[in-house]
């Protein structure tokens, strides 16, 4: 696919009310000799949920990792192209990934709480970034984050228990609380509900919907229904290419590309 | 197609294989149990046999000798100063004490033998006690010292075969000028006499059969060899002849040579070592050892037979008799062997202890610990978490793994080549030993640390990096705490290996005889020292038999240390283990 074609498939009409938060242009990712992403360009709006869909191995997680430069931690991964957040180039050696990651939180595919207490899990980010001057402030941040993540009611009386003692769904909400505790601008979520039952999924979706008011959320999901329910924008990836990107409604009701339609309707993938 | 039949087929195949699977499982379990039982048995045997061997080392027979600390002898200057006391004749003080204890012993060679009940090194110990407390000068003092090592073994029943036989006839003693005759009313000596004669006859018989064997051999060898054999046979015959004549006795008496068991008559206040036994089994003559002989008769007496002939043991009969008398009088008693735990090495086993080696081991281990653990852990963290993965770091990794397989003696050579020849560090000191052992333990610690860092799931690192922790923070806040149990275990096992290491320390001169325990202080690190395994090696190769139980006891001490190290490792692992 040429760059011109890729540009053509980009959604051109981002609603005025939503500013562009992340602007990506011509991103290639190589793992050693193997290219995993081909010339991806897109603009992701602020204060909304953008869903990445596509068959397994198509490069969704890889692309997500570009946004907080987690690919830096993978040996042999090379990211080229331009990634801008609020107009600032982040795919640049002069940008400290530590600063970047403080403003771009990430929730991983599998819940990965620290083997520490629930409190320490949430308090860790604010502590290392020096966001709280006093113990009371820190307590406040922890409580707020847990409330936002919809976990406070379940854990308020057992904050010293290890985070790993929670159920899978609770752990997922705990790591979401951990991500929002540093008050990021962008939250990346890699299949946050893949390990959850419908009730927990509903809770997390509700949470994402609430978070949308203040954050730019990018999530990967394998559930078409979930993408349709919670996202405003949807991007469809296939074999390392961004095939189609646009408002969720449009993608699901009136896809431009044949491949998108086939995937959404379950004819391949 | 036929789906159900396919399913049935799978099931059939599984069921057919099932017994074989279970058999192999139970075989495996049995093999495992057998292996555990065998290793436990071996361990028990090993520790048990060493433990048994070490038992005699834990107690010591001591002489509580009354001595007179005459001013003239112990303080020649008369000013109680240390310099004056150092000129005192403490050896003489001890000898006088022994003379007082056995006033009837006379003759130069008897005296010399008497003073060999203890080692002369004890005079220095007495001097040290007087220096520590000059108030003792002029007083009567009871000085406690260990009995000579051979006599100590004798009292522990490890040196000679002996037996006592109660006698009931009335014993008549008739003191002569050169020898003392004794006579019993009944034939109390008859059994011993018969045994001795039988021994001589047996010996003669065996000599004669050897002579006969020589003669049959003569037919099948050349002339020169036949001559030699014939001559030897003649000598055997001659000796057999002499033995037979001796066994028959002369003038109604059997002469007891040093090649025969010793026969000693013991009664209240005295002992007579028999030189001749009457052939009628009722008496004989001998020399009075304990007291000046006098005419008397006694009803309570015993026959003490030492089956190991005097010619074949290191201690003569008179020392045995004196020692027995001292035990009888309560002057020699058995107590906990504090010398073994309080003293450094000594050339006399009864004064030798593990303190020096233990201190040396502790000092050496401190150096090893301070060097190898921080350097090893830091290296491992850098290599595992920070170093770029390229040819160069691969090379380093391969080399570290190779180092772990290098025989320890090579590290000794390296130590000599670098630390002694280049940096000219003092030989045989804990610093040097610690440096060499650090070289040896580093690879072990690095490998263990890297393995436990690797075992920390990557999701933890990602989680930390994801909230914006720097690489260092993610390592020190999250990865390292999770890896701690493994790192501790690896380090402690590396250290306990260092604690038991001998070969490289021999090379760098930590094998010297150290009579003063190095102090557990800063100076101690640069004083010559030895370590426990080297001490064990030294004692096992020493000539004196009494060093053997001490070496075994030192092994027990070393094993105790190593096992408690490993127990600490297990405890720490349990304590810090976290699950996720
Ligand atoms: N660390 C890595 N090293 C080498 N190749 C990788 C690495 N991570 C991903 N890849 C490759 O990059 C491609 C994209 O992988 P990615 O994980 O982004 O897929 P994905 O879309 O997230 O799939 P899934 O839906 O299964 O999570 C795959 O072909 C994968 O094999
Ligand atoms: Mg993925």
Domains of chain B: 1-159+314-337 (no CATH), 162-313 (no CATH), 350-576 (1.10.3720.10)
Q: Using DSSP, state whether B167 is helix, strand or coil.
A: strand
Tell me the per-residue pLDDT of B181-239, one tens digit each, with 9 for 90 and over: 888 888 888 899 999 999 999 999 999 999 999 999 888 888 888 999 999 999 999 99
Does residue B337 sit in helix, strand or coil?
coil
pLDDT at residue B36, as a whole number: 97
Is B580 an 8 Å CB contact of chain A? Answer: yes
The span from the CA of B329 to the CA of B269, in Å, is 10
**Number of domains observed in the structure of chain A:** 1
Partner residue facing A124 (CB), from B462, B467, B580: B467
Q: Return the pLDDT at B78.
A: 86
Atom of ligand 1 nearest to the CA of A63: 18
Cα(B574)–Cα(B289) distance, integer angstroms: 67
Choose the mutation target among A102, A112, A178 for the interface with B, i.e. most B CBs under 10 Å: A112
B5 pLDDT tier (thresholds 50, 70, 90): low
Query: A70 vs B473: CB contact, 8 Å cut-off?
Result: no
With tokens 């040290």, the residue in question is B128
CA B447, chain centre distance (Å): 36
- Specify the DSSP class assigned to residue B428: T
Question: Is A163 part of any domain?
Answer: no
CB of A31 closer than 6 angstroms to any ligand 1 atom: yes
pLDDT of the residue at B336? 95
Task: Give yes or no for residue A36 CB within 6 A of ligand 1.
Answer: yes
Which helix (H) or strand (E) is A29 found in, with range?
Answer: strand A20-31
- Locate the ligand 1 atom nearest the alpha carbon of residue A222 and give its number: 25
The dihedral sign for the CA sequence B336, B341, B342, B348: positive
Mean pLDDT within B112-130: 93
Position B424 scores a pLDDT of: 87
Cα–Cα dist B341/B321, whole Å:
30
pLDDT at B139 over 50: yes
Structure tokens at B338: 């504090």
A232 domain-assigned: yes
Asked if the model's pLDDT at residue B8 lies above 80, the reply is no
How does the average pLDDT of chain B come out, rounded? Answer: 90
Say which residues have a Cβ less than 8 Å from residue B90's Cβ, sequence separation at least 6: B73, B74, B123, B124, B126, B127, B130
**pLDDT digit string (tens) for B164-178?**
988 877 888 888 777
Contact status, residue A101 vs residue B473, Cβ threshold 8 Å:
no
User: What distances in angstroms separate CA A204 from CA A148, A159, A199, A233, B466, one per listed residue?
Assistant: 11, 20, 9, 18, 19
Instruction: Check CB contact of A175 with chain B, cutoff 8 Å.
Output: yes
User: What's the gap in Å between the CA of A36 and the closest CA on chain B?
Assistant: 20
The list of chain A residues with pLDDT below 50 reads 1-17
- Give residue-wise pLDDT tens across range B482-497: 998 889 888 988 998 8
Q: A210 in a domain, yes or no? A: yes
Q: What percent of chain B has pLDDT over 90?
A: 57
ipTM confidence: 0.87
Ligand 1 atom with minimal separation from the A62 CA: 18
In this structure, the strands spanning B162-167 and A49-53 are unpaired
> How far does the centroid of ligand 1 lie from the alpha carbon of residue A63, in Å?
9
Q: Does B78 touch chain A (CB under 8 A)?
A: no
Say yes or no: CB of residue A168 within 6 Å of ligand 1. no
How does DSSP assign B465-494, residue by residue? Answer: HHTT--HHHIIIIIIHHHHHHHHHHHHHHH
Burial classification of residue B409, based on how many CB atoms lie within 10 Å of its CB (0-12 exposed, 13-18 middle, 19 or more buried): middle
What is the average pLDDT across B475-482?
Answer: 92
Q: Among B279, B280, B303, B317, which residue's Cα sits nearest to residue B171?
A: B303
In a domain, A134, yes or no: no
A204: in domain: yes
CB distance B122 to B94 below 8 Å: yes
Distance from CA of B17 to the nearest CA of A (A): 36
List b or e across B212-242, with b for residues whose CB sees 16 or more CB atoms inside 10 angstroms.
eebbeebeeeeeeebeebeeebeebbebbee
Query: Token pair for residue B206?
Result: 């065996």
| pLDDT value for A18 | 59
pLDDT in tens, B488-545: 888 988 998 899 888 899 888 888 888 888 888 888 898 889 999 999 999 999 888 8
* A136 vs A133: CA distance, rounded Å: 8
Instruction: Tell if the CB–CB gap between A113 and B468 is shorter than 8 Å.
Output: no
Three-class DSSP category at B107 = coil
Give ion ligand 2 contacts, CB < 5 A: A 61
Asked whether residue A69 is assigned to any structural domain, the reply reads yes
Average of per-residue pLDDT across B106-134: 92
Our CA-based measurement puts residue A129 at a distance from the nearest CA of chain B, in whole angstroms, of 8
CB-based contact (8 Å) between A141 and chain B? Answer: no
H-run or E-run covering B553: helix B547-576
Cβ neighbours of residue A163 under 8 Å, at least 6 residues apart? A113, A114, A115, A116, A117, A118, A120, A121, A171, A174
pTM for this prediction: 0.80
Provide the pLDDT for residue A10. Answer: 46
CA angle, residues B540, B542, B543, in degrees to nearest 5: 125
Residue A114 vs residues A132, A161, A180, B310, B344: alpha-carbon distances, Å: 20, 12, 16, 78, 52
The C-alpha atoms of residue B310 and residue B391 are separated, in whole angstroms, by 74
Q: B4: Cβ–Cβ under 8 A, 6 or more apart, which residues?
A: none
For ligand 1, whether the C-beta of A241 sits within 6 Å is no
Using a CB–CB cutoff of 8 Å, tell me whether A227 touches chain B: no
Measure A32 CA to ligand 1 centroid, in angstroms: 13
- Domain holding A76: CATH number? 3.40.50.300
Contact B391/A at CB under 8 A: no
* pLDDT score for B291: 79
Residue A245 sits in which domain range? 3-112+182-264
Q: How far apart are CA B341 and CA B554, in angstroms?
A: 10
B262: β partners: B306
* DSSP secondary structure string for all residues of B246-295: HHH-BTTEEE--TTS-EEEEEETTEEEEEEEEETTSSEEEEEE-SS----
Would A158 be classed as within a structural domain? no
Does the CA dihedral B130-B134-B137-B142 come out positive or negative?
negative
CA A249 to chain centre: 20
User: Ligand 1: which of A28, A30, A34, A36 to mutate, most ligand atoms within 8 Å of CB?
Assistant: A36
CA distance B361 to chain A (A): 39
- Looking at residue A41, its pLDDT comes to 93
| Centre of ligand 2 from the C-alpha of residue A225, in Å | 18
Q: Closest residue of A to B481, CA-based? A: A115
In a domain, A171, yes or no: no
- Pick the residue from chain A with its C-alpha nearest to B472: A98
First to last CA, chain A: 20
Region B84-101 average pLDDT: 93
| Residues of chain A neighbouring B579 (CB-CB closer than 8 A) | 115, 164
Ligand 1 midpoint to CA A220 (Å): 13
pLDDT of residue B7: 65
């Amino acid at each position: 696919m040429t760059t011109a074609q890729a540009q053509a498939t980009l959604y051109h009409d981002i609603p005025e009310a939503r500013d562009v938060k992340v602007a990506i242009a011509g991103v290639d990712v190589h793992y050693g000799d193997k290219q995993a992403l081909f010339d991806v360009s897109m603009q992701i709006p602020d204060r909304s949920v953008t869903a990445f869909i596509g068959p397994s191995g198509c490069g969704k997680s890889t692309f997500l990792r570009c946004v907080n430069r987690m690919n830096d931690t993978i040996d042999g991964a090379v990211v080229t192209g331009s990634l801008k957040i609020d107009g600032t180039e982040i795919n640049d050696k002069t940008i400290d990934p530590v600063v970047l990651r403080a403003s771009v939180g990430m929730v991983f595919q599998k819940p990965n709480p620290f083997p520490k207490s629930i409190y320490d899990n949430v308090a860790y980010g604010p502590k290392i970034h020096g966001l709280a001057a006093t113990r009371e402030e820190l307590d406040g941040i922890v409580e707020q984050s847990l409330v936002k993540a919809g976990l406070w009611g379940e854990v308020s009386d057992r904050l010293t228990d290890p985070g790993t003692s929670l159920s899978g769904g609770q752990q997922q909400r705990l790591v979401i609380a951990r991500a929002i505790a540093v008050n990021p601008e962008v939250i990346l979520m890699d299949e946050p509900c893949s390990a959850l039952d419908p009730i927990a999924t509903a809770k997390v979706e509700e949470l994402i919907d609430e978070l949308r008011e203040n954050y730019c959320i990018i999530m990967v999901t394998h559930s078409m229904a979930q993408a349709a329910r919670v996202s405003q924008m949807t991007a469809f990836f296939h074999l390392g290419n961004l095939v189609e990107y646009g408002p969720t409604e449009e993608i699901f009701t009136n896809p431009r590309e044949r491949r998108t339609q086939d995937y959404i309707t379950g004819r391949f993938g | 197609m036929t789906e159900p039949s396919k399913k049935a087929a799978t099931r059939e195949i599984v069921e057919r294989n099932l017994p074989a699977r279970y058999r192999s499982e139970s075989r495996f379990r049995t093999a495992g149990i057998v292996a555990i039982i065998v290793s436990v048995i071996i361990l028990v045997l090993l520790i048990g046999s060493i433990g048994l061997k070490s038992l005699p080392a834990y107690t010591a027979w001591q002489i509580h000798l009354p001595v007179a600390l005459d001013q003239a002898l112990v303080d020649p200057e008369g000013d109680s100063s240390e310099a004056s006391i150092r000129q005192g004749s403490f050896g003489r003080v001890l000898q006088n004490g022994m003379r007082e204890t056995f006033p009837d012993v006379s003759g130069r060679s008897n005296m010399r033998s008497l003073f060999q009940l203890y080692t002369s090194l004890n005079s220095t110990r007495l001097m040290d006690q007087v220096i520590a407390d000059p108030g003792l000068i002029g007083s009567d003092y009871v000085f406690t010292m260990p009995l000579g090592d051979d006599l100590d073994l004798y009292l522990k029943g490890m040196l000679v075969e002996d037996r006592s036989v109660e006698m009931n006839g009335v014993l008549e003693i008739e003191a002569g000028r050169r020898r003392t005759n004794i006579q019993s009313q009944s034939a109390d000596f008859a059994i011993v006499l018969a045994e001795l004669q039988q021994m001589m006859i047996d010996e003669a018989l065996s000599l004669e059969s050897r002579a006969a064997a020589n003669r049959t051999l003569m037919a099948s060898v050349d002339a020169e060899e036949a001559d030699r054999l014939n001559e030897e046979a003649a000598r055997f015959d001659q000796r057999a002849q002499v033995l037979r004549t001796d066994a028959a006795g002369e003038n109604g008496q059997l002469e007891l040579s040093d090649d025969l068991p010793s026969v000693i008559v013991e009664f209240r206040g005295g002992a007579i070592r028999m030189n001749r036994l009457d052939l009628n089994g009722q008496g004989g003559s001998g020399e009075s050892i304990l007291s000046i002989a006098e005419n008397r008769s006694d009803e309570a007496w015993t026959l003490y037979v030492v089956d190991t002939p005097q010619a074949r043991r290191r201690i003569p009969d008179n020392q045995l008799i004196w020692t027995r008398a001292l035990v009888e009088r309560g002057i020699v008693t058995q107590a906990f062997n504090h010398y073994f735990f309080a003293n450094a090495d000594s050339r006399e086993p009864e004064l030798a202890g593990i303190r020096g080696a233990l201190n040396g081991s502790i000092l050496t281990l401190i150096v090893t610990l301070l060097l190898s653990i921080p350097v090893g852990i830091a290296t491992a963290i850098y290599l595992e978490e920070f170093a770029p993965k390229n040819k160069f770091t691969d090379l380093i990794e391969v080399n570290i793994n190779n180092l772990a397989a290098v025989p320890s003696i090579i590290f000794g050579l390296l130590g000599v080549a670098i630390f002694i020849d280049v940096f000219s560090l003092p030989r045989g000191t804990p610093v040097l030993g610690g440096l060499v052992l650090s070289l040896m333990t580093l690879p072990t610690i690095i490998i263990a640390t890297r393995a436990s860092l690797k075992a920390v799931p990557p999701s933890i690192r990602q989680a930390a990096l994801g909230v914006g922790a720097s690489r260092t923070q993610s390592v020190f806040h999250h990865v390292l705490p999770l890896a701690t149990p493994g790192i501790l275990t690896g380090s402690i096992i590396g250290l306990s290996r260092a604690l038991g290491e001998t070969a490289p320390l021999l090379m760098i001169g930590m094998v010297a005889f150290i009579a003063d325990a190095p102090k557990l202080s800063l100076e101690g690190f640069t004083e010559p020292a030895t370590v426990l395994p080297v001490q064990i090696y030294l004692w096992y190769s020493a000539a004196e038999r009494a060093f053997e139980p001490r070496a075994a006891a030192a092994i027990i001490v070393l094993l105790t240390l190593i096992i408690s190290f490993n127990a600490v490792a297990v405890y720490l692992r349990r304590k810090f283990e976290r699950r996720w």
